[in-house]
Structure 1
Amino acid sequence: MRRFKFAVVGLLTLLVAACRTAPVENVTHHAFPAGTEKLSLAQIEESIIKAASDRDWIITRQAEGVLFATYSPRSHMAKVRIGFDKTEFSIVYADSTNLNYDGASIHYNYNRWVNNLRQDILREVSAKAALAN
Structure 2
Amino acid sequence: MRSLKFAVVGLLALVVAACRTAPVQNVSSQPFPADASKLSMAQIEESIIKAAGEREWIVQRKAEGELIATYSPRNHLAKVEIDFDQSEFSISYVDSTNLNYDGTSIHYNYNRWVNNLRQDILREVSAKAVLAN
TM-score, length basis structure 1? 0.99
Other-structure match for 1:90: 90
Is 1:21 aligned with 2:21?
yes
What letter corresponds to residue 70 of structure 2 in structure 1? T
Other-structure match for 1:51: 51
Secondary structure of 2:34 counterpart: coil
What letter corresponds to residue 120 of structure 1 in structure 2? D
**Structure 2 unaligned residues grouped into runs of 5+:** none
Secondary structure of 1:35 counterpart: helix
Secondary structure of 1:73 counterpart: coil
Give 4+ residue runs of structure 1 displaced > 3 Å after superposition. Answer: none
Other-structure match for 1:119: 119
1:62-114 Cα offsets, whole Å, 9 max, x none, are 00000000000011000000000000000000000000001100000000000
Other-structure match for 2:74: 74
What letter corresponds to residue 10 of structure 1 in structure 2? G
Other-structure match for 1:103: 103
Identity over aligned residues, as a percent?
77
TM-score, length basis structure 2? 0.99
**Structure 1 unaligned residues grouped into runs of 5+:** none
Secondary structure of 2:62 counterpart: strand
